Structure 1
Amino acid sequence: MPFCEVSAMAQKREFVMFALNEGANVRELCRRFGISPTTGYKWIERYQAEGLAGLTERSRRPHSSPQRTAWQVEAKVLEVRDKSNNVWGGRKIKGALEKDSELEIPAASTITAILRRHERLTEAGAAQHPGPWQRFERETPNELWQMDFKGHFAIHSGRCHPLTTLDDHSRFNLVLSACGNEQGRTVRGELEIAFRHYGLPLAMLMDGGPPWSDPGGELYTVFSVWLLRLGIRVLHGRPRHPQTQGKEERFHRTLKAEVISGRSFGDLADCQRAFDQWRPRYNHERPHEALDMATPAERYRPSPRCFPEVLPAIEYGPGDKVRKVDSDGFISFRNRPWRIGKAFRGELVALRSTDQDGLFSVHYCSHRIATLDLRSTDREACGLVDNAKPCPQGPHPKQQQKQPVSS
């Protein structure tokens, strides 16, 4: 993947941090980042010897600053504050400055006093702590990604719909794209780029709105079926419970405060440039209080599950009863049509018997997607378990014209 001019330094930094993780496959990382192994090992060597300065074409940083004066420390504090769009407080600025070993870092309370002295922080603008809460996070990176659209906002040429994706364990931002719509095709294109770069997660969490869910009540969409085909479990938050995706909600607040608020954007490209400039700061420089003031990049590593450019054929077990979903979302089983959903049109599903007589589970690839209940005699309720439903008013019209497939 060629580096764009805006994010070349950020891409180099991500590469060396991932490559220095224990057990990292450097050659696989080189393939994902679109560089040769020679270039990759050169960056690692320079980074180990010189740190981030070794990744720049020409370093302008002094080799040492042994006699920093008070005004220089204050200037650095104000510089970090300015980069955050005047949002960061004393603790975050201290955490960011601690990564620069050349500075004698003052206490967080001192930094707060510096901000007040320069009229960068007022009591009226200070946010009140919401009180104690309990955080939940997955144990390892790529166990769960959260994805959502931030509320769209006006630009000169229309509206921008920011698409964001976070790793649940590390809060590492994987996708930050300025989109012109919220359609499944748009989301899929952005995710393919992320999957090629970072690998595949085990599961993804989304809310209940489109394009993740069907507004007509279908449990799956064409987009979610694509994720299932890749071996990614699809999860949805409860309706009217945004706290289920609390990390995404918090990230959107940060994005709005540090990038969007107080700025005017001409078009989507203008928005994307601002996102690309800010994203490395969020991932690599901005300390996160939920991570004990570590940065997301310090806790993230790419997934070992590579994105398949060509999907392998679906294979089921010898004891499975395989059916193909027709163009209306139906399969035929035991001389009856069962509605699986139009999102699965043309796909093969497998039916497996359970330990309960008359109850069959329906699987797509490695995922159980529905359950068929043959025991009920009420055609309105028969089989209404998960996503599978019998035709409520007799056989499906197309099924009347052909012999149903029996088991």
Structure 2
Amino acid sequence: MPWKETCAMDQRVQFIGAWLSGRYSKSALCRHFGISRPTGDKWIRRHALVGVDGLKESSRAPHNQPNRISEALCERIVQAKLAHQDWGPKKVLDWLRAREPEVVWPADSTGGEILRRAGLVKPRRRRRVVPPHEAPFADCEQSNAVWAVDFKGDYRLGEGRRCYPLTLSDSFSRYLLLCRGLARPSGAAVHPWFEWAFREYGLPQAIRSDNGAPFASRAVGGLSALSKWWIDLGIHPERIRPGRPDQNGRHERMHRSLKGWLGTPAQGLEAEQRRLEAFRAEYNWERSHEALSRRTPGSLYAASPRPYPPCIEPPDYDQGVEVRRVRNNGEIKWRGRLIYLSEVLIGEPVALEPAGDGLWELRYRFHPLGLLNEQNDRITPARGWHGDPKV
């Protein structure tokens, strides 16, 4: 015969039934059911007071919970999350604490549990941990040491035109300096907004970008009209390696937040710009960052002490270097021969310094252009802007 399954409730009913029959002593029943005398007394007492329902397990929850979060406070946390649906529990609670510091808000873990019960937390997919590569650029130790620039992926507006959001951020504080929707990603469209940023925030030490237009080109030194202007202002252009967006990872992470925040595009570019400005205000002043010790970028950023100059000074090279002026066709004359450099540098003086064995280092101001081999008139491109040693 198969074994009969029993549960604790069935055994308690059997125990009480045997006790009420009067044929067994309490000690014998407790030995038979494998329980102690105090446990047997408890179930006899409960049955006498309540009946069969007294044999059910009682709740072990405390009768009084002085630290329990009120329903009103839970509702405010839920409403804050609904207003910022792309934020996690930590950012939601940081936002609430900043606005109402007199309120005793729950711990981050408790806030996460409140949002989970409300169905507002999506389970995060765990990613495989990859050992990080050594960064090719120096760390950003203060505001305006390095600015990062890029175009977020373009998208179609409701009216059919495309929007190209130009984003510019301070790599130290994560402060989003500029978030501007443009009709085309050209140098002419970008230039006035960089000028606005320089007048508003001053000049950075360096600007980091990818290798695409209008920030760079395939010309000697990787110069574009835009990056040449940066060099004229004393700003060092830094360019990440092709296919390595992780070298500008802080800026790319901001793009991920922007993409999640935007959702459905607006009808036209003007309306879309209002949405981009709303994101910029929230990102800078409301959204806390764990990398900034739970502070906002706006609380950490300070404008640059280097003002935007009223005019650009001409290049001034040291004594002992050869200087050649770039002709109207982008060439220089060297040792009686014409060598093509770039039309971006037309009318500008470039410096040549001996590097040994018939090699000459080409520079425009402080920016390396490459090594000129006077035996074959070939220019080997410089690599210094990728964080590598100069060729």
- TM-score computed with the length of structure 1 as normaliser: 0.70
Q: CA deviation at 1:215?
A: 5.8
Give yes or no for contact 2:370–2:379 (8 Å, CA) kept in 1. no
Say if 2:241 is the partner of 1:272. no
Decide which of 146, 153, 156 is 2:155's aligned counterpart: 153
* CA distance 1:109–1:229, change in 2 (3 Å): same
SS in structure 2 opposite 1:163? strand
Q: Give deviations 1:144-184, integer Å, cap 9, x for gaps.
A: 11110000111023111111111111111111001111001
Q: Which of the pair has more CA radius of gyration?
A: 2
CA distance in structure 1 between the partners assigned to 2:373 and 2:220 by the alignment: 20
Aligned to 2:249: 246
CA distance in structure 2 between the partners assigned to 1:102 and 1:278 by the alignment: 27
CA distance in structure 1 between the partners assigned to 2:210 and 2:372 by the alignment: 26
CA distance in structure 2 between the partners assigned to 1:193 and 1:230 by the alignment: 14
CA distance in structure 2 between the partners assigned to 1:159 and 1:215 by the alignment: 26
CA distance in structure 2 between the partners assigned to 1:129 and 1:81 by the alignment: 25
CA distance in structure 2 between the partners assigned to 1:171 and 1:127 by the alignment: 25
Kindly report which structure 2 residues correspond to 1:72-111, keeping only aligned pairs within 5 A, or say none: 72-84=72-84, 86-100=85-99, 101-111=101-111
* CA distance 1:325–1:127, change in 2 (3 Å): same
Structure 1 unmatched runs, 5+? 1-68, 389-407
Decide which of 221, 224, 228 is 1:221's aligned counterpart: 224
Q: Output the amino acid matched with 2:180.
A: S
Say if 2:331 is the partner of 1:330. yes
Q: CA deviation at 1:191?
A: 0.8
Q: Output the amino acid matched with 1:248.
A: H
Q: Output the amino acid matched with 2:309.
A: P
Q: CA deviation at 1:143?
A: 1.1
Kindly report which structure 2 residues correspond to 1:103-122, keeping only aligned pairs within 5 A, or say none: 103-122=103-122
CA distance in structure 1 between the partners assigned to 2:188 and 2:86 by the alignment: 35
CA distance in structure 2 between the partners assigned to 1:176 and 1:71 by the alignment: 39
Q: CA deviation at 1:326?
A: 1.4
* CA distance 1:132–1:296, change in 2 (3 Å): farther
Kindly report which structure 2 residues correspond to 1:204-219, keeping only aligned pairs within 5 A, or say none: 204-214=207-217, 219=222
Q: Output the amino acid matched with 2:147.
A: W
CA distance in structure 1 between the partners assigned to 2:131 and 2:251 by the alignment: 16
Q: Output the amino acid matched with 1:189.
A: P
Decide which of 227, 236, 240 is 1:237's aligned counterpart: 240
Kindly report which structure 2 residues correspond to 1:5-404, keeping only aligned pairs within 5 A, or say none: 70-84=70-84, 86-100=85-99, 101-123=101-123, 126-128=124-126, 131=129, 134=132, 137-157=139-159, 158-214=161-217, 219-258=222-261, 260-261=262-263, 263-354=264-355, 356-374=356-374, 376=375, 379=376, 382-386=377-381
Q: Give deviations 1:337-366, integer Å, cap 9, x for gaps.
A: 222212111212122234x25332222223
Q: CA deviation at 1:97?
A: 2.6
CA distance in structure 1 between the partners assigned to 2:373 and 2:83 by the alignment: 59
CA distance in structure 2 between the partners assigned to 1:348 and 1:165 by the alignment: 30
Q: Give deviations 1:17-39, integer Å, cap 9, x for gaps.
A: xxxxxxxxxxxxxxxxxxxxxxx
* CA distance 1:130–1:195, change in 2 (3 Å): farther
Q: Give deviations 1:304-361, integer Å, cap 9, x for gaps.
A: 111113212332234332221112211111112222212111212122234x253322
SS in structure 1 opposite 2:370? strand
CA distance in structure 1 between the partners assigned to 2:220 and 2:334 by the alignment: 23
* CA distance 1:130–1:79, change in 2 (3 Å): farther
Q: CA deviation at 1:217?
A: 8.2
Q: Output the amino acid matched with 1:310.
A: C
Of stretches 86-95 and 150-159 in structure 1, the one that deviates more from structure 2 is: 86-95
Q: Output the amino acid matched with 2:141.
A: E
Give yes or no for contact 1:324–1:331 (8 Å, CA) kept in 2. yes
Count residues with an aligned counterpart: 309
CA distance in structure 2 between the partners assigned to 1:232 and 1:149 by the alignment: 20
Superposition CA RMSD, Å: 2.4
Q: Give deviations 1:268-292, integer Å, cap 9, x for gaps.
A: 1111101112212111221112222
* CA distance 1:75–1:278, change in 2 (3 Å): farther
CA distance in structure 1 between the partners assigned to 2:317 and 2:293 by the alignment: 45
Give yes or no for contact 1:218–1:341 (8 Å, CA) kept in 2. no
Give yes or no for contact 1:340–1:387 (8 Å, CA) kept in 2. no
